[in-house]
């Protein structure tokens, strides 16, 4: 019931928001990846089982990626999550997309087995191939709009001065040049050798705490993760002014394991940790947000 109310509220928010004049919205990552690519062969099958969704690499907005030799293998993943991956959407963008899409877009699962004719495509090139596959097999048509929406801006409390757990990633640091390691691989120095993505873990000494760690990550990715975990109900944007990528550790939770951590207290603990550890605060403001919307999509794929 709550999820339905939230989707309705988001849809109303989007409809009532100020729409800005149309402009070029092709993101830099898409232009760099080649704009339009397709799989050489692909098979899509509906999956109505209770099998957990999984794939041969992480379908997230982060850059962590293990080369698969051009193979894209997934099980029981929803169209919403395929779209999230293919367009590299943040959680705020996904919430607005879901609010305006048919319900089955987020509930029906599909298996995909596809192969690229590129021997070693990048993760972003894989995204473009999934875009083409969804358009070809599900007749997916989309467009983007930019709206002025209530948002939270990540800003440095002291301009130009990050907190003690936020460090620019040195371009000469080669410890994070490979793919993400296995969870059992030890950390290097004080930050984990987990390249291009954020890892969220519990804390053994404080079971009610959450710790996020990342190496060589853009702050836009942290903003997306905070939006998902904090339940703020609005997009979070990076306006710190920091460029490049960073190494960071962020841990939050109650002072005592006996204290509750509901949605309101979670936001309080998270904002306190952002302030003390990263030197960041969240400022409410209205900001332009690019939204991906579905014009048409078929509920079932065309024949293999």
| Greater pLDDT, 121 or 3 | 121
Q: 151: which 2 tokens?
A: 């948002």
**Same domain membership, residue 137 and residue 15:** yes
Question: Which of the 8 DSSP states describes residue 20?
Answer: P
Q: What is the pLDDT of residues 165-197, one digit of tens each?
A: 999 998 877 776 544 433 333 333 333 345 778
**Same domain membership, residue 214 and residue 134:** no
Domain C-terminal end among 149, 179, 207: 149
**Same domain membership, residue 270 and residue 221:** yes
Provide the b/e sequence for 52-89 (b: ≥16 CB within 10 Å).
eeebebebbbbbbbeebebebebbbbbbbbbbbbbbbb
**Same domain membership, residue 170 and residue 145:** no
- Residue 299 is assigned to a structural domain of this protein: no
Q: Quick one: pLDDT at residue 257?
A: 65
Separation between Cα atoms, residue 109 and residue 53, nearest integer Å = 8
The helices-and-strands tally (H runs, E runs) of the chain is 8, 12
Separation between Cα atoms, residue 173 and residue 103, nearest integer Å = 45
- Given a contact cutoff of 8 angstroms between Cβ atoms, the answer to whether 281 and 159 are in contact is no
What does residue 272 show for φ and ψ, rounded to 5 degrees? Answer: -65, -45
pLDDT category, 10, cuts 50, 70, 90? low
Q: What is the pLDDT of residues 207-250, one digit of tens each?
A: 678 888 988 899 988 998 887 777 787 889 999 999 989 999 99
The Cα-based distances of 154 to 6, 219, 223, 266 in angstroms read: 23, 9, 7, 17
The Cα-based distances of 9 to 15, 17, 234, 236, 271 in angstroms read: 10, 12, 11, 17, 24
pLDDT over 90 (residue 301): yes
Residues spanned by the domain of 94: 2-149
**Same domain membership, residue 108 and residue 90:** yes
**Same domain membership, residue 236 and residue 106:** no
What does residue 280 show for φ and ψ, rounded to 5 degrees? Answer: -120, 145
Percentage of the chain beyond pLDDT 90 is 49
pLDDT over 70 (residue 126): yes
**Same domain membership, residue 140 and residue 6:** yes
Q: Quick one: pLDDT at residue 263?
A: 65
Q: Quick one: pLDDT at residue 129?
A: 98
Q: Quick one: pLDDT at residue 6?
A: 47
Question: What's the total number of domains in the chain?
Answer: 2
The Cα-based distances of 2 to 5, 6, 9, 188 in angstroms read: 5, 6, 10, 42
Q: Residues 203-210: what's their mean pLDDT?
A: 71
Q: What is the pLDDT of residues 29-40, one digit of tens each?
A: 888 898 789 999
Q: Residue 252's beta-bridge partner residues?
A: 210
**Same domain membership, residue 238 and residue 167:** yes
- Residue 294 is assigned to a structural domain of this protein: no
Q: Quick one: pLDDT at residue 277?
A: 97
Q: Quick one: pLDDT at residue 21?
A: 59
pLDDT category, 296, cuts 50, 70, 90? very high
Q: Residues 71-80: what's their mean pLDDT?
A: 97
**Same domain membership, residue 109 and residue 26:** yes
Domain C-terminal end among 149, 168, 201: 149
Give the chain's mean pLDDT: 83
Q: 14: which 2 tokens?
A: 């989007």
Q: Residues 96-124: what's their mean pLDDT?
A: 94
Q: Which of 160, 242, 177 is nearest to 215 (CA)?
A: 177
- Residue 303 is assigned to a structural domain of this protein: no
Q: 260: which 2 tokens?
A: 């509750």
Q: Give the CA diameter of the chain.
A: 57
Q: What is the pLDDT of residues 42-54, one digit of tens each?
A: 999 999 999 999 9
Domain C-terminal end among 101, 123, 149: 149
- Residue 300 is assigned to a structural domain of this protein: no
**Same domain membership, residue 225 and residue 130:** no
pLDDT over 90 (residue 282): yes
pLDDT over 80 (residue 204): no
Separation between Cα atoms, residue 225 and residue 217, nearest integer Å = 12
**Same domain membership, residue 111 and residue 46:** yes
């Amino acid at each position: 019931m709550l999820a339905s109310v939230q989707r309705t509220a988001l849809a109303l928010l989007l409809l009532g928001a100020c729409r800005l004049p149309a402009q070029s919205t092709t993101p830099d990552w898409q232009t760099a990846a080649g704009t339009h690519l397709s799989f050489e062969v692909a098979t899509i099958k509906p999956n109505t089982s209770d099998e957990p969704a999984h794939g041969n690499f992480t379908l997230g907005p982060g850059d962590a990626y293990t080369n698969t030799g051009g193979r894209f293998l997934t099980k029981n993943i929803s169209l919403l999550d395929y779209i999230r991956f293919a367009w590299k959407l943040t959680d705020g963008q996904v919430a607005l997309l879901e609010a305006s899409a048919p319900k089955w877009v987020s509930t029906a699962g599909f298996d995909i087995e596809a192969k690229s004719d590129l021997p070693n495509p990048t993760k972003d090139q894989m995204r473009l191939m999934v875009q083409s596959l969804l358009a070809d097999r599900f007749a997916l048509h989309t467009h983007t709009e930019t709206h002025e929406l209530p948002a939270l801006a990540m800003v440095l409390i002291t301009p130009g001065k990050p907190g003690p757990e936020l460090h620019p990633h040195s371009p000469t640091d080669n410890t994070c040049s490979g793919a993400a390691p296995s969870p059992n691989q030890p950390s290097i120095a004080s930050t984990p050798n987990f390249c291009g993505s954020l890892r969220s873990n519990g804390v053994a000494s404080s079971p009610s705490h959450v710790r996020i760690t990342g190496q060589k990550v853009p702050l836009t990715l942290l903003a997306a993760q905070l939006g998902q975990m904090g339940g703020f109900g609005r997009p979070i944007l990076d306006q710190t002014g920091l460029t490049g990528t960073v190494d960071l550790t962020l841990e939050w939770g109650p002072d005592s394991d006996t204290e509750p951590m509901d949605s309101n207290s979670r936001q309080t603990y998270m904002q306190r940790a952002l302030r003390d550890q990263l030197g960041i605060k969240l400022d409410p403001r209205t900001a332009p947000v690019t939204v991906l919307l579905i014009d048409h999509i078929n509920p079932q794929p065309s024949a293999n």
